[in-house]
Chain A
């Protein structure tokens, strides 16, 4: 159970990114986060693993207060939270397998990992996850030799070798074409359904939300505007979330 309580984030310089956002996510749920660009979706996701330090509020994960965790405790919490990014965020000059193994850094012996030594078990796990997203044959290529869709699959494999309980996906398909977008979303769906991993995924396209999400929350200007099943987003709700001028596409 992930509970977000009264989460507020004010950036240095006074930008109010999140205002008093509260919601909770059940284990195994696929939650879509929707809203305009700049509505605070990314900030919200990054507050959950404290890549961004929340200003106020609490994040409770299985009874543990994430916001109060010390730096060492935070490392332990983070390794159970996989993250997938809009721009993949792979280390492009490193090999695919190295990128995936980076997901094991929180678990392995720190001294050995600095010399790029990982246990055999971790290698096997990395190949298993690469195989799952059907790019095991690309393992020894440099990450920048792969296409966008392939790179995002490496990103998923990296998140999965963390053996995560939560996956935070920050607009994972926004820089991919519609066909690839569906294939990536299907991988996320598989992970959600087969492994029972909770997925928090920010999305732009409502049809993707309808197709994949169990539940959706909507942000506008950092405020929570909607929390419920995707099919409840009717035209009135839509205009509330996206503004009066907005029109539905897709």
Chain B
């Protein structure tokens, strides 16, 4: 490097840069309302002191108190033309005397206490006849149990009756106990930790498959010709529709057998046996000659039967877990939550099974049509492929855009068929047609990369919405409580982990992947044998890290009704009960610190 002399231009540039930095920060100060004047305000400082002092005294432990009340009558102001006599006192008990038993408002009166418990502190208050309390100060008794206190009397409307000055002596009795606040905080912090655990588990389970789709190195090699793409675009929605119908139909068909656990158990056994039997028979015959023959038809029929049996198995499992779970809740007593868990799993299956069947059938039909497209593209002459492409992509484009139109209609409720169906379908058809004309008939297109980009975009979009915001939507769906919070956290976890995971997949060593591919292993086998062993330990460490984050997030998700400790914290802050809020803050700090420690230990072990 050759050293240049500092030129004038260069110095000017630096000066300009410095000026720019100052301007940027000055503007920052303006928009963030920085105001140091308020920090010195007397009122605010007193309040700050009060809050800080409350915060350092978390309301965790309390005692039972023996409360003794010592009182003297007092006239405020002195009644006219009436002599106030000194009240009788019982000198065996704690008692109080005053240098006057009547006075004008704001006068100073000296109060003397005798026989008090030594070295104690307590409030001295002025009580009106209607029971309104005005604090006068605190007494501190000396080692003999005596005290002297000058108090300034409050301003009161004159009243004919005697009012009272009362000292309250509170003496701790018994052992320290946890306060109600502490107990509630304990319950909620447990809830918080488990909320985070569930969210992490669900999010992880879903993020793992997604992460493979979002990994560039695995997807870049997936290329297919236009024919195959068009066919599978047509196939997917048909499959999903059929799947939804099949799941509904299967449930209807099996309803008579779903009412008793006995029938369901028998059904389950038969279903599992059928699936295993068929799969064993069919999968054994893996080697075959190319071409379509009788064996293929038998195979397809076998797969369909196995698939239907599989759906039945899922429905039977759902019924069993629901009924058994419900039956177990009472007999299990304190472990009834296990029964509830089974029951809820059954309930969840009711939601998941149709979705699962729909996606499964979508994949099967989409994949099968895609394969047919691939074969056509491989085996047919270019001109035939072009004609099929033109038809295929036109239909595919039209149906894809019609679906998008339906989605838009659902969101915006346009309810105008020409705008939500005809126009989109038309535009889609034209785009498909143009695509078929532009692309060479057998040209392999980077389908993998397209799916990769779509997945990445969806993940990034989801990830940029904070789980706090998601929780608001889930609260509306499933009601206020930890369930909503768990779902929101799970969704955010899915998006965040899928991205982290996929980056891990992208950074694996390519050598083993190449080697396993070279053995003739299919795509899935390659992933299981060459990719998975390389990513297990980073996946575990990311998952731990995410649980850590989820614990922290779940502490505040209660702010929007998502359950967990945040709900308590927010409530206490709103009630200005800072000592209670302090308990929750301490709990959060302890749990987060513990999680941090545990996860760092586990991660260290893993790597």
In the assembled complex, A246 has its CB within 8 A of some CB on chain B? no
- Which residue of chain B has its CB nearest to the CB of A81? B518
In the assembled complex, B19 has its CB within 8 A of some CB on chain A? no
Which of these, A73, A77, A93, A102, contacts B516 with CB under 8 Å?
A102
Segment touching B, from A20-28, A105-113, A192-200, A224-232: A105-113
A91 in contact with B514 (CB, 8 Å): no
In the assembled complex, B283 has its CB within 8 A of some CB on chain A? yes
Q: Which residues of B contact A79 (CB under 8 A)?
A: 519-520
In the assembled complex, B26 has its CB within 8 A of some CB on chain A? no
Known contacts being A102-B521, A106-B520, is A158 close to B375, with CB within 8 Å? Answer: no
Q: Which residues of B contact A162 (CB under 8 A)?
A: 519-520
Q: Which residues of A, 54-73, contact B by the 8 Å Cβ criterion?
A: 68, 70-71, 73
Q: Which residues of A contact B520 (CB under 8 A)?
A: 75-80, 105-107, 162
Known contacts being A109-B283, A111-B283, A114-B528, is A103 close to B519, with CB within 8 Å? Answer: yes
B519 in contact with A73 (CB, 8 Å): no
Tell me, in angstroms, the Cα distance from A87 to B520 when the chains sit together.
Answer: 20
In the assembled complex, A16 has its CB within 8 A of some CB on chain B? no
B375 in contact with A106 (CB, 8 Å): no
A91 in contact with B286 (CB, 8 Å): no
Given contacts A78-B517, A102-B529, A110-B283, 8 further A-B contacts (CB under 8 A): A77-B520, A83-B519, A85-B511, A93-B533, A102-B530, A106-B521, A158-B515, A162-B520
- Which residue of chain A has its CB nearest to the CB of B283? A109
Q: Which residues of A contact B176 (CB under 8 A)?
A: none
B279 in contact with A111 (CB, 8 Å): yes
A110 in contact with B522 (CB, 8 Å): yes
- Which residue of chain B has its CB nearest to the CB of A49? B518
Which of these, A68, A85, A93, A106, contacts B515 with CB under 8 Å?
A85
Q: Which residues of A contact B571 (CB under 8 A)?
A: none
A89 in contact with B511 (CB, 8 Å): yes
Tell me, in angstroms, the Cα distance from A110 to B529 when the chains sit together.
Answer: 12
B533 in contact with A106 (CB, 8 Å): no
In the assembled complex, A94 has its CB within 8 A of some CB on chain B? yes
Known contacts being A78-B519, A79-B519, A114-B524, is A109 close to B286, with CB within 8 Å? Answer: yes
Which of these, B290, B515, B522, B524, contacts A73 with CB under 8 Å?
B290
Which of these, A71, A88, A93, A105, contacts B519 with CB under 8 Å?
A105
Per-residue CB proximity of B481-515 to A under 8 Å, as 1/0? 00000000000000000000000000000011011
Q: Which residues of B contact A71 (CB under 8 A)?
A: 374
- Which residue of chain A has its CB nearest to the CB of B286? A109
13 contacts between A and B (CB under 8 A): A70-B375, A70-B378, A78-B519, A80-B520, A82-B518, A89-B511, A89-B512, A93-B536, A105-B519, A106-B521, A109-B286, A110-B522, A168-B518
Per-residue CB proximity of A162-202 to B under 8 Å, as 1/0? 10000010000000000000000000000000000000000
